[in-house]
Structure formats: structure tokens, C-alpha cells
Amino acid sequence: MKYFLFLNHPKGEEVYKVSEERENLLKEHFKRVDVIMTEVEVRGERYRALVDYSAFSNLGNFDCFNCQDPCCADNPTIYEKHTREFVLDNLKEYNGLTRNVDILLELGHELEDVITSIENDFGMVPDENVEEEVSLCTCSYKPNNKSTLCSLHSLCLNKALDVKDIVDIKPLVCSLWPIDIVIDEKEELLYITVPDDFTTGFTIEDYYDTVCVNRELSQSASFRRKNPDGFEFKDYKPLIINYGETLKYSLGEKFYNDVKKILLEKELVFIDEFEEKEEQILKKINIE
């Protein structure tokens, strides 16, 4: 088994391979919980998927504007061709956010070399500069001395692109984080869930350190020491709502509709909650 969203990780099998212990925990979990079988469509490819659907009624709050945790600390993927083209088409604005071009020029690179690196290098900067002079994820930027945001996402919003475009341009792992997808290539089957008390033994992310999907953690003194603002208790909403459009365009309308339908039938969410939603993916930061 492999962590599906990390199949394109620069470190390869070291990251995406699921250990035998975790594989056994995953299989036991999916035997215990209620699931649905559905189909997902990812980057034009279709897969059968077994979904731990109740996990999508779990509460989430993706308040990146107030987060001090290093979610964008590294490059989780080798960037796709169309993402590289988007960066090159918007190079001035991209550099205005990330300063990547300026950094490389200061280091003695020629502009032509910078462009070649964006086209070819796994991290869109020379390998020796990845997570060094160009710290954190190549596409991250700091709008202030607090939060770290995604330049690709911000550029899309500044260009008034819709959710479909944002999901297409950003790496899939970044759009869907921290949702967990494991692929069993022998069975040609995806297992889809979310980190929580019951799954954290096999998910790639640790629920107890992931405030986006752990409302109790957001109220703890240790978390508030680092994050005095944001992550309001009331802003935690079921994932199917806060992540609705993201799920639809990342995993397909059938996945979204099937999960939404079963959650409504089981009264794990209610229809009026969908009417009140505000997609967090479309929020912009206000810089004073």
C-alpha cells in the first residue's frame, strides 16, 4: 500500500510507502467502520474508492491566515507541467510574493537559468537551494511576520480564478491536506479517510498535531501560546461543508455527491448547514 497523495513526492518510497503495521491498522479500521464504495476522478484518472464517510462529518477549520504551524515546510511533490507554466506566465507577480527570483539572482544565477529551473527542477529552484536559501516550500510566502501562505493559491485568487482552477493549479496533496488516501495497487482500490482519534495510527498526518481537524487542540494553552488569534471554536464546520468544492474538483462530483448523500441520510450533517457555508478556499487575507 502507498500514500496516494504522496506518490509524486521527491523522496519517493521513503515517504509514500505504508508500513506493514500501518497497513494492518488501516485494514482493521475499515472493517470496523461503516463505509461506502464509490468512484473518484483524480487528474483525469478514475479509481474505485472505499470511503470512511463519517470522517467527512468531522469538524474542520482551515484558518491558514492565523496558523503558525509549518504546514508548508517542505516541497511535498514534483510540480506538474501546467503548474510550472502558470508560474512562468505570472513570474513577476509570483516573484513579488515569494522573492524566489530575487534570491536566485542574488546568489549569482542568471535569469535564463532561473527560468530553466522553474521548467525542469523538481522544486522549481536549483536542487542545492531547495529548503535552504529558498526556505520552506518553494511556493510558500509570508504576507506578514505571522502566517505562511501559498503563492499559487493567492495568485489564483488575485486573478479571480474559480475553485476548479485553484485545485487544478495547486499540487493535489496541498489542496486535499490533511485528508488521507491510501492506494492498494493490487486491488486497484483507494481507501479514503481523515485523521482523527481512530485513524491517527495509520494516517500520514498526526491528528493530535493537526489543529485544522482537531477543535479541542485549538482550545489548548500550548496551541494558544503560538496562535493567540484565529481558529475560532464556532468556525469549525463539517469537512464536507468547509471542503465541499475542493472535494468536488479534486475527487470528482460523484465522490462529493455520494458522501454528502449518505451523511444527510444518517443525519451526521443537515441540509441547512450547507446553505450557511462559506468556502474557505476562496477567502483572501487582509493585509493592514
Q: Are residues 59 and 192 in the same domain?
A: yes
Model pLDDT for residues 184-235, shown as the tens digit of each residue? 999 899 999 999 999 989 999 888 888 889 999 999 999 899 888 888 999 8
pLDDT of residue 147 exceeding 50, the answer is: yes
Alpha-carbon distance 247 to 253, whole Å? 8
What mean pLDDT comes out for the span 20-42? 96
Report pLDDT for 74. Answer: 79
Burial 182-196 (b: 16+ CB within 10 A, else e): bbbeeeeebbbbbbb
Alpha-carbon distance 124 to 87, whole Å? 9
Report pLDDT for 104. Answer: 94
Last residue of a domain, one of 159, 189, 219: 159
Tell me whether residue 215 is in a domain. yes
pLDDT of residue 134 exceeding 90, the answer is: no
Q: How many domains is the chain partitioned into structurally?
A: 2
Q: Are residues 275 and 206 in the same domain?
A: yes
Report pLDDT for 66. Answer: 81
Q: Are residues 221 and 132 in the same domain?
A: no
Q: Are residues 278 and 181 in the same domain?
A: yes
Last residue of a domain, one of 159, 187, 214: 159
Q: Are residues 102 and 27 in the same domain?
A: no
Query: Which residue, 207, 203, 283, 202, is CA-closest to 242?
Result: 283
Model pTM score: 0.91
Q: Are residues 276 and 194 in the same domain?
A: yes
Last residue of a domain, one of 131, 159, 187: 159
List the domain range (segments joined by +) for residue 130.
81-159
